[in-house]
Amino acid sequence: MNPKAVLTNIAVVISIMALAAAVEVFLPLFPRAKQRPGRVRANLSLMTLGFVVNWSLNSLVAIVAISLAAKPTSLLAMTNLPFAVQVIVTILILDFVYGYLAHVLLHKIPFLWRVHRVHHADPFVDVTTTSRTHPIETMWRFLLMTTAAWSLGLPAAGIVIYRLIGTTNGVLEHANIRLWLPFDRVASLIWVTPNMHKIHHSDEPTETDSNYGNILSLYDRTFGTFTSTDRAPHVVYGLRDPNGADVPSFAGLLTHPFANQLREPERPKADSEVTAQLSR
């Protein structure tokens, strides 16, 4: 990706974030309480690093593209589907691999959970939370996406469109905006709405381990990980774990996955698990 394309990409992302932030002012889901000093600065610093990491990773896209060009006819191309249908199929595949599967594994694999906790520990969810992503998580998702793209020969146009839609919805679903609940119930039948994702940021473990999707709610509904969006206006954000990476500094967020390695942080228990243990 050349410098001009990189700057264009950055400008688009920042513009979307600025627009969402403006909507937050007029239609907030939660009042903006007093923030911990340094929170927004740390989140935006991770965003800046994310741009650098993505720029570096995108240089690998050229290698993948060359490999695809030299590769025998891909599985998707062999179907002889119209190109527009191939793009739609690409979006569906990547939303499963990059948006759903990679996210589920971030919660289930201990080291990846250490990395992903940096995102979940944010005590308030707004547009800046979108960019509160550790670079290891960025590389992990990129690995799964490029593996799927290369093995299936997914068209570049479909990948670009998916990334654009996914980035836009990533900003919207984290934005502190209020939706009319009846509309949200209908929209969340197919779309990962802001309310649906707010449930995922709840400090209640059973809710944290649900609503993993990025664009479509299809996979959460199919695999039984969907949780109703009705409780979104009442969720408490963050992690119950006292070692929850709620550190208001850029350096603290970067180093958190490697801190206290001799003591693996426990996944917070659901209330039902705690009750069962106390009754023994």
Query: What pLDDT, on the 0 to 100 scale, is given for residue 120?
Result: 94
Q: Is residue 280 part of a domain?
A: no
Residue with tokens 């971030």: 106
Q: Is residue 48 part of a domain?
A: yes
What's the number of domains the chain is made of? 1
Whether residue 101 lies inside any domain: the answer is yes
Question: In terms of C-beta density within 10 A (0-12 exposed, 13-18 middle, 19 or more buried), how is residue 161 classed?
Answer: middle
In a domain, 194, yes or no: yes
Which residues form the domain of 232? 3-269
Q: Is position 275 within any domain?
A: no
In the predicted structure, residue 30 carries a pLDDT above the cut 90: yes
User: For the residues 15-32, what does the mean pLDDT come to?
Assistant: 92
pTM of the model as a whole = 0.85
Q: Is residue 152 in a domain?
A: yes
pLDDT at 244: 55
Tokens 């990476």 belong to 245
**pLDDT of residue 77 exceeding 80:** no
Q: How far apart are the first and last CA of the chain?
A: 59
pLDDT digits (tens, 9 = 90+) for 199-253: 999 999 999 999 999 999 999 999 999 999 999 999 999 988 756 556 678 888 8
Chain segment 250-278, per-residue pLDDT in tens? 888 899 888 755 344 455 555 444 344 33
pLDDT confidence tier of residue 64, bands split at 50, 70 and 90: low
Nearest residue to 2 (alpha-carbon basis) of 46, 47, 50, 61:
61
Does residue 34 form part of some domain? Answer: yes
